[in-house]
Structure 1
Amino acid sequence: MPAVAPLRLHAPSRRDAVVVDLPVVLAPMAGVTNAAYRQLCREQGAGLYVCEMITSRGLVVGDHKTHDMLQFDPGETTRSVQLYGVDADVMADAARILIRDFAVDHIDLNFGCPVPKVTRKGGGGVLPYKRDRLRSIVRETVRAADEFGVPVTIKTRIGIDAEHETFLDAGRIAEEEGAAAIALHGRTVQQAYSGEADWARIRELVDAVDIPVLGNGDIWEAEDALRMMDETGCAGVVIGRGCLGRPWLFGDLAAAFRGEELRLRPTLGEVGRMIIRHAELLVALSDERHGLTDLRKHMAWYFKGYPVGELRRRFAMVSTLDELRGLVDELDASAEFPVAELGTPRGRQGSPRGKVVLPYGWYDDTSGCDLDLADAEIGVSGG
């Protein structure tokens, strides 16, 4: 594979506003990609690491939980945040706040959330069906961010279902309204995280627009990223579930994009040390009690395929750093990496929905500018 080019994100008034030497993006994941996990991943390899998604209304009204999520460590030289909303004016105001008050360098707009309680109200991954509404949101957010020379990208899905695809129109709208790039998750809202991602649609989008296209879906190993870029021509990759419990994937990606064969296959002892490092970063972010509570959700991902036995239950209840270090000492440090896990899915998968529930008359037109979709900002968790 030829040398991989940097990802260059332009704002309308500022070329190369953000340049990512390694075109790899850590997808924002609710409850996962806080400042501690972003730092942990960044310590393994280069890329763009995106903060947990925040809602525009929460930011604009000064919600404390929303503001608390906007934490960055000193090493984050490029502050990237994913923003979700359904109202163009509120999104524009939120963009200004992110840049002015939190020194954010890049904003990504989420139009990919498949959560039923959001989509049934017209938000998330079904909003792009309302093309005029989508255009208004992208236009006003790009304009607001460009007051500071900050680039805006968008993330979306193939469409609502196989009969209602939106990704090509979304890509054209993004390009026409000044977005710097578009990321496509190769699944529909109906699929959620089930089945296989359709990389052929990423290729279609690459052929349809002139802005960079980032591919997302089913990148479990560095080789998957190389293959996606080769098959689709995408400018970069977005890594989501593939890095759960495997922050070293970013090191593998960096090596692969440099043409190196070396891949990290950590022993159980090395995984234990990674867990301790993760815990230390979480504690520094908040305190010991909250940090260790946050860490518990990661344990099943870290230990997937390893012979942990009854220690698994004890790790899932850990409450102090000393207790964690003691448990790590009890692991079989020499246990080898479970090669059978290579290339296998991680995180949530589930089954496709029978039908995506939508607001009454959703398919009647593709405008949607006059709809009140405020309730669609409740309980959003990404896409």
Structure 2
Amino acid sequence: MPVNGWDAETAVIGLGAWGSAALWQLARRGADVIGVDRFAPGHAWGASHGGSRMFRITCLEHPDLVPLARRSAQLWRALEHDSGEELFVRSGGLLIGPPDGPITGGTLRAAEAHGIEVEILSADELGERYPLHAAVPRGHIGVREPGAGIVRPEASVRAAVALARSAGARVLTGSRVTDLVAVPGGVEVVTATGTLRVRRAIVTVGAWLSTLLPRLPLETVRMPICWFRPATGTGGDGGDDSAGSRDSAGGKDFGLDRFPVFMREAGGGQVLWGNGRENGHDVKLGLEYGGGGFRPMDPEDTDRSVGAEDWTELARLLAVCVPGLDPVPARVAVGLFSRTPDGQFVIGSPDGDPRLIVAGGCNAHGGKHALGIGEALADLATGGETRMPLDFAHADRFPA
């Protein structure tokens, strides 16, 4: 029942990676909070899916992201402890490319500025230690970050929502929010089935943010994600029935230990990313900067069909960079993310109005920061300030 005309102090709208973390953080503080989502927790319609997301501390996208990543790592351990699930797998990570390139150069600058432990490998050393990466040019290097690894997005979302519920949060799923109306002292959250009145709303709807807040310069982008299996004759499927062959077919040759999470400059401005088999998933790979399947997309378009344009450019790179994989993917999926003009997040209250807190513009690299951002959103909702330096991501940085 509403109290003094309000259904809750805070509503978190959108329970993906960022929203579920905010809901968990608010509920564990004893806040009066309600979470709203049009889908079930851990769904595959936005950006928080795919079985794994890269985690690294050496954030090359902005220097102020390093403290946020460090805090997220701490909170993932807390989420694992509270949920009893393994959600963060440290495998080490590789950043490969020319020393002055955007990937390895940016990684080295972040490591030096923040005192992050890394190991520099020559092309020859990469070939010896990680032979599944082929044809690394002699002038390129590998930067290995021992603390990097993968986080499991769907499992993390479900764990955060479950813990929030157990701490007293209310959760409404199957509820599409169609409008947000500022009223004296709060916000009306309009859904297809009714209206919620709350003191403030945290809006973390990912690819749908521009539909609720069209003033923000956000673009929804379609991103293909592919999974590959070892090629026949490389220790993958189709070998004889010996114990060694069965081990390889089970994925050990391309397991996370031998093929850890990575980003690699592959020439022509393309960056290849991915990670080895783990937790029942095949080798996951994709492109960082476009490709045939990347294009703006209406988030309300439910057509997630895939075609050859979603993987042919990627397969061309694999033939050179990772020749041990079958060039035809075993599975292809489509994710959506929101993109900003400067490639940075949008976090804060537009026009300084504390009734509305937005968080979006993940630019396809927000998964690793999810728990730190959730904590920051809870801080904004309860005290108006964050413990992390997030001024670079403020919603009012764009001209009206």
Tell me the TM-score normalised to structure 2 length.
0.25
Tell me the TM-score normalised to structure 1 length.
0.26
* Structure having the larger proportion of residues in helix: 1
* Structure having the larger proportion of residues in strand: 2
Larger radius of gyration: 2
Which structure is higher in RCO with an 8 Å CA cutoff and minimum separation 6?
A: 2
